[in-house]
Structures are given as C-alpha cells and as structure tokens.
Amino acid sequence: MLAYLLAIAATFLYGVTNFIDKFLIEKKVRDGEFLAMISGVVSFVFGIGVLSLNHWPTVGLAPTVILLTSGVLFQLALLPWYKAVDLDDPSRVAALFQAIPIFTFIFAYFLLGEQLSWHQAAGFILIIAGGFILSLRKFSGDIFKIRKSTKYMLLAVILNAIPPVLFKAVTPESDFWIMSGYEFIGMGIGSALTYFYVVQRRPHLRHLLRSLENVRREALAFITVNEAVYFSANILFFAAVTMAPVSLISAMGGFQPFFMIAMGLILARWFPKMVKEDISRKTLKTKIGAALLIFLGVWIINI
C-alpha cells in the first residue's frame, strides 16, 4: 500500500506543478519549453550532487546506459507533447495521456515479465477508465478520431511509458539514490538536446535564456517552488516504482485529473479571476462518478 500512496502523492504534486506552469506561462514567463528545460537543468544538478556525495560510484556500463537513456526519454517526451498541443485542443490531447499505463503495462510485461492478477487487472482498468472520463471537458465521439496531433501524442505516450520500466529494470538490487542520480543526469542531457532542437526552430529562445536575469523576483520564486515540487514528485514516483508493479504505479496517474479538478474548484471558488472551472450539476455528477471508479480501482488492487 505504501507504494501506491507514494504514487498518488507524486500524482498530486504533478497536478500542483501543472497549475503553477499554467500561471507562469500565462502571466510571467510565457514559454513552456523554456520551463521544461529549466527543469532538466535542475535535475542534472541534483544528479551530479547525489553522485558526487557518493564519490561517483560505478554501477556497470549497462545500468548506466539504461538509466541515462531513461532520463533522456523522460525529458524528450515533452517535445511531441508540445507539438500535439499546438495542433489540437489541449483537453482532447490530454485525455489520450491516460493511455500511458497501457503502454507501460505492455513494456513491463515483455521487458520485466510483470503480470497482473485478475483483481489487479480489474482495478487497473477502472482507474484508467475513471482517469479518462475525468480528463474530458465534454464527451464527444471524435475523441478517438485520427487527427494531425495523434501521431505526436502517441509518441509522447510511448516516451513517457518507457522510463519507469527501464528504471525498474536496474534498481531492485541497487541503491535507489545512486540510480536516481544517473536518471536525473539523463534528464539533464535530454534538456540539452531539447534546447538545441528548440533553438533551431526558434532562435529567439537564445535571447530568452540570456535575459533570465531580467525575470522578476516574483517569477523566479514561483519557478523555484515549481521545480522543488516537480523534483519531489519525481523522487516519490521513482521510489514507488521500486516497490510495486510498475504498470500499477503508472495507473495511479489516473488520479491526476481528479486532483486537477479538485484544485480547480477550490481556486475557482477563492480566485475566480485566475481559474475558470465548469461546476454545473451535470458535470460534477459525471466527475464524481469517474472519481469513484478510480477509488474503487485502487481498493480492488489492494484486496
């Protein structure tokens, strides 16, 4: 149960960073890719710090390559995500993110030999279904229609599904913090690759990076808090991956739309000018029903 609680806590923190990201992009920085690269830099610095404190332990060539690759893929997954959002309605694109646990299960089955019992599979399906329903703003038959954004979203889903499986593959008999150090260095490498890709498309980003010192202190404070929360979420998520089947840990991401809606309702109540949320009776009934599916799924998994 501890593993699932850690995964749910990580999901909650990821939801918090989504709200802070939205605020920063709309009000302060106005560049999501820039924020993503800053996150990679923070991860890289942490990874270097962890490994230096442990006197740069060697874990073997294969585990090192696997962990660095995992971190790179985790960071590069942002590129097709941003492309998909540029091409399509963000709410429709985000709904497809609920397919990540399905691909994680497929990779875990073939690479790790993970199998789910009947009740775990039932809970897995309920959580995915509830998360999918929660992530939709409105129900429409064209959600499954092939669109220009579909290939980018599919790539983003696959790139997000692989890292936890790779991390799980090398951590059972190794020190968690050391493995995390290499994982976060990989994220930093991915951030560097993202920078070169984005700058090639958008030369003005060079000026944005050079003018970082001109960002207001208030924005820097929000960025600092955001990175601390995101970093904490990553630590909790990867810790959870080492304790339970990675496919079930990934499925706990179904809680994120629930947390996002709950936080949105609270902010809409106290800060109506900052967040707009549909609080009609019909919508709330649907969302509550979907949330109950998720909680039922978690309960079934832990029977």
Q: What is the predicted pLDDT for the residue at 99?
A: 82
Q: Read off the tokens for 291.
A: 């949330």
34 vs 209: CA distance, rounded Å? 8
Q: How would you write the pLDDT of the chain (303 residues) with one tens digit per residue?
A: 789 899 999 989 988 887 777 777 666 666 666 777 778 888 899 999 989 998 888 888 899 999 999 999 988 887 787 777 667 665 566 667 778 888 899 999 899 988 888 888 888 888 888 777 776 665 555 555 566 777 888 898 899 999 999 999 987 667 888 999 999 999 999 988 887 776 666 655 555 555 455 556 666 777 788 888 888 999 999 999 999 889 889 888 877 777 777 777 776 667 665 555 555 666 667 777 877 888 888 888 866
Helix, strand, or coil here: 145? coil
- Amino acid at site 189: I
* Residue 132 neighbours by CB under 8 Å, 6+ apart: 95, 98, 254
What pLDDT is stored for residue 269 in this prediction? Answer: 67
Q: Which two tokens stand for residue 52?
A: 């230096």
Please give the single-letter amino acid code of residue 62: A
User: Does the CA dihedral 128-133-135-139 come out positive or negative?
Assistant: positive
CA distance 272 to 122: 39
Distances 141 to 92, 136, 138, 190 between C-alpha atoms, Å: 11, 12, 10, 36
DSSP 112: T
Instruction: Note the pLDDT of residue 48.
Output: 94
Sign of the Cα torsion 72, 77, 82, 83 reads positive
How far is it, in rounded angstroms, from Cα 145 to Cα 184? 36
- Give the C-alpha separation, 83 to 12, whole Å: 25
Cβ contact 144:153 at 8 Å: no
Cβ–Cβ under 8 Å, residues 187 and 71: yes
What pLDDT score does 71 carry? 94
Q: Do residues 249 and 1 make contact, with C-beta atoms less than 8 angstroms apart? A: no
pLDDT for the residue 124: 86
Give me the pLDDT at residue 235, please: 92
DSSP code at position 77: T
CB contact set of 159 (below 8 Å; sequence gap of 6+):
73, 74, 76, 77, 80
Helix, strand or coil, per DSSP, at residue 137: coil
The encoded tokens of residue 199 equal: 């700058």
Angstrom distance (rounded) from CA 61 to CA 13: 33
Which tokens hold the place of 115? 């199998």
